[in-house]
Amino acid sequence: MRILPHDQAVLDHVAARGTAIVDRAVDWANVNSGSRNAAGLAHMLDLLETAATPLAAAAERLPTAGSTNVGDDGRVRVEAHADALKITMRPDAPVQIVLTGHFDTVFPAESAFQTVVTRPDGALNGPGVADMKGGISVMLAALEAFETHPDKAGVGWTALLSPDEEIGSPASAPLLAELGARGHIGLTYEPALADGTLAGARKGSGNYHLIVTGKAAHAGRAFDEGANAVAGAAIIAARLHALNGRREGVTVNVAKIAGGGPLNVVADNAVVRFNVRVPDKAASDWIEAAVREIAAEPPFSGLTLDLHGGMTRAPKPMDASQSALFEAVRETGALLGQTIAWKPSGGVCEGNNLHAAGLPNIDTLGVVGGDIHSDQEFAWPASFVDRAQLSALILCKIATGEIDALKLKSLRLETM
């Protein structure tokens, strides 16, 4: 591969808009859009629709599915979620690219971390500036530049911007599955690591909420008449923790036990919340069976158990399609003087969903940064243009056939 004159024009288009690409990401990061901040998410949808206007593509808001939420009181409620934004260009073209990103962040409306500042070393420090409002800005910049390429007609694309990735994509998962099944290559805009390294193989992840119901009683007068849900939850948590080390690559993190009340009352409710990570399908099946076995056996009489949740993202191994796609991206990056490397990650993202649906994908094409999910989150401003040019050139090489999207999709289907 080499950079052709039409490719260079696309790259120049990105470079000429470098300041604007950074500035709009900063503006977006100054809008709180925590996963459950309905007003902030609605504001971001308005901003993203406006930002998509120069693409002259079909943009529509898609209702997302509701999900169940287990409160700390043990009550199960249906939770509504914000709309997703789908932007579509040339849906009937022979090659279809799926680009995904999320506009929610982990920072709730009441978070003290609300605005972007520039650190003394020049990095941007702000909520979502890397994860992933910077990534969305990079994605849109790459698409806008690609739309100037003369070979664009053979490539259609759909960008899906979702409101719930940071809570496991419970509402947008069906949309991701549908797009993944129809597309040939996926590009997702989670941030790269601080040195620019991409995530390769990813573990799978599951989130569980186990409701423990007991019987209330006076702790002094009638202790024996009660059944302590908090004590039961503690025993269950220990059983779950004991699963660690029993199968290679499988981890169980007991994150929280909620419940109980006054010190003189035997607790009648508790909720055990935990996350599991698995390296492959066999491990996923094993941990699912082990969790359900524990949830089927109350630790002592008088308790009932009610398990909610499950595996939310399947593992994403480095199969033949993934390896071939990464090599193509490495070669594309080399044309730009960018060294592309990758390594396994225990983290999960929409790339897991897309792969499970049959779509080979690269899921860390966003900005270079780090310390995400903390008030130290940062992104390097220079990486915005670099990463947008990388995505734009990938699209150019797909359009010219130098990256064979149909072959990559075929390789993925062979392993399903």
pLDDT average per 10 residues of sequence, the chain (416 residues): 96 98 98 97 98 96 92 92 97 98 98 98 98 98 98 98 95 96 98 93 97 97 97 98 97 97 97 97 97 97 97 95 98 97 94 97 97 97 98 98 97 92
Copy the structure tokens of residue 72. Answer: 């700390």
Looking at residue 375, its pLDDT comes to 97
Report the amino acid identity of residue 267: A
Q: Are 116 and 30 in contact (CB under 8 A)?
A: yes
Compute the 3-state secondary structure of the chain and give helix, strand, coil in percent, each to the nearest 5.
35, 25, 35
Closest CA to 351 of 118, 185, 127: 185
pLDDT for 66: 87
pTM over 0.85: yes
Residue 207 and residue 288: Cα distance in Å, rounded? 11
Tokens of 90: 């040339």
By the 8 A CB rule, do 172 and 163 touch? yes
Q: Give the C-alpha separation, 285 to 278, whole Å.
A: 9
CA–CA separation, 167 vs 170, rounded Å? Answer: 7
Tokens representing 387 are 């990463």
pLDDT tens digits for 117-158? 999 999 999 999 999 999 999 999 999 999 999 999 999 999
pLDDT score of 226: 98
Distant-in-sequence, close-in-space partners of 144: CB < 8 Å, separation ≥ 6: 13, 17, 54, 55
pLDDT attached to residue 415: 87
Please tell me whether residue 244 adopts helix, strand or coil conformation. Answer: coil
Q: What is the DSSP string of 345-363?
A: ES---HHHHHHHTT--EE-
Q: Which run of H or E residues covers position 160?
A: strand 155-162
| Sign of the dihedral defined by the CA atoms of residues 210, 211, 214, 218, in that order | positive
pLDDT of residue 384: 98
Question: What angle is formed at CA 43 by the lines to CA 41 and CA 47, rounded to 5 degrees?
Answer: 115
Confidence (pLDDT) at 1 = 87
At residue 300, the pLDDT reads: 97
pLDDT of the residue at 65: 86
Q: Which two tokens stand for residue 219?
A: 């702790």
Q: For the chain, which domains are there? A: 5-67+81-201+315-414 (3.40.630.10), 204-313 (3.30.70.360)
